[in-house]
Amino acid sequence: MKITKAIVLGGVAGLAATAGTVSASEAVTTIGIRGTVPVVCRVNLENGANATLGASQVQGTLREFCNSGAGYRVVAKYSPQLASGRLIIDGRVLNLDRSGEVVISESAHAGIVARSITIDSNGRNGGSIRFQIEPR
């Protein structure tokens, strides 16, 4: 038994001595991984991206998601009946004019945002508004 232990210990000592010597000419290998992620952008107002106004005021949450590294913008496109109305986004008032669209938000990077929104049609019944998100 003592001879077996001496041989095993001698072998381990020999391995330890050679493990510390590494030749400078040994090659280093690098492995790279590359993938492609599709750009996905979504915006919705509570239960859908479209709101048809039957009352003079609608409140809800506008949810934005976009993974574009270059950023995105959210635009509201509305019918002519809403031209004198306004949008209130997180307390910021956006007046709706005759152009039929207004930029709600812009971002220079990817993001996930929930915004409080009030659509005020200025006492008029009817009209529609659609939100769309545009990646850069």
Domain that holds residue 125: 41-135
In the chain, what is the straight-line distance between the N-terminal and C-terminal CA atoms, in Å?
75
In the chain, the largest separation of any two C-alpha atoms, in whole Å, equals 101
User: Considering only CA atoms, which of 99, 59, 61, 68 is closest in space to residue 82?
Assistant: 99
Which CATH number belongs to the domain containing residue 46 in this structure? 2.60.120.380
**Cβ(119)–Cβ(61) below 8 Å:** no
Residue 45 lies in a domain: yes
What six digits make up the tokens of 64? 């934005």
Give domain status of residue 62, yes or no.
yes
- Is residue 29 assigned to a domain? no
Instruction: Say what the pLDDT of residue 52 is.
Output: 56
Residue 72, domain member (yes or no): yes
Is 35 part of any domain? no
Q: Is the pTM above the cut of 0.85?
A: no
pLDDT tens digit at each of 136 positions of the chain: 454 444 444 444 554 554 555 556 678 889 999 999 999 999 998 754 345 555 567 888 999 999 999 999 999 999 999 998 999 999 999 999 999 999 999 999 999 999 999 988 887 777 889 999 999 9
pLDDT on residue 89: 95
**Rg of the chain, C-alpha, whole Å:** 32
Whether residue 3 is contained in a domain is answered as: no
In DSSP terms, 40 is beta-bridged to none
Q: Is residue 20 part of a domain?
A: no
Helix (H/G/I), strand (E/B), else coil: 94 = strand
> What's the domain count of the chain?
1
Residue 4 lies inside a defined structural domain of this protein: no
SS3 content of the chain, % helix, strand, coil (to 5): 15, 45, 40
